[in-house]
Structure 1
């Protein structure tokens, strides 16, 4: 994901850029994961394209504005909401399945 984001940002592949983007991606992963669910793990989302786009979106925002002085973008918020709904839908499905037992 780091190399993809560096290409999207048009950054040269230098050790400094790689270290910075790696750090921002790691932070964005943790923030996004925590925003979706307190029980979710990175393994739950490692192959989820929507999660990966949310991480890249937030990491990009952090690249340009480390303090997120304007908050997170509406696009990021929309993606997180979709991911949250997926978690809630799964929880509802599991609860319904357990009720039928």
Structure 2
């Protein structure tokens, strides 16, 4: 399984098919993956995470990118759902070693 594409996120969010929106979603997905990897606090690749739990990683990317789509500053921080998923994913990766 691969990381969610901007088109898949666009479809899930029911956003109009627009080149500028796809660029925004591409940037948000990139930012979300960087934030997730930094939160795991280890040098890790997307492929490493996908090998552990691709479904959870993609759901976390979708949820975080969606939060940033509607609130670029994440003014209220990570949502509870993002924190739960991040904790679970970190536990699977760090605990599995």
Tell whether the structures are fold-level matches, with TM greater than 0.5: yes
What's 2:48 paired with? Answer: 44
Contact 1:58–1:76 (Cα < 8 Å) also in 2: yes
- The 1:30–1:64 alpha-carbon spacing in structure 2 relative to 1, beyond 3 Å, is same
Give me the TM-score of the superposition, normalised by structure 1: 0.83
Three-state SS of the structure 2 residue aligned to 1:46 is helix
Q: After superposition, give the CA deviation of every residue in 1:25-77 in whole Å (9 maximum; x if it has no partner).
A: 01001101111232221111236110111011000000000000000100000
Q: After superposition, give the CA deviation of every residue in 1:5-35 in whole Å (9 maximum; x if it has no partner).
A: 1012111121101000000001001101111
With CA pairs under 8 Å and 6+ residues apart, which has the higher RCO, 1 or 2?
Answer: 2
RMSD (CA atoms): 1.2
The ranges of structure 1 where at least 4 consecutive aligned residues each deviate by more than 2 angstroms after the TM superposition are: none
Three-state SS of the structure 1 residue aligned to 2:96 is helix
Give me the TM-score of the superposition, normalised by structure 2: 0.87
Q: Structure 2 stretches of 5 or more lacking a match?
A: none
- Greater Rg by CA: 1
Contact 1:29–1:55 (Cα < 8 Å) also in 2: yes
Three-state SS of the structure 1 residue aligned to 2:44 is coil
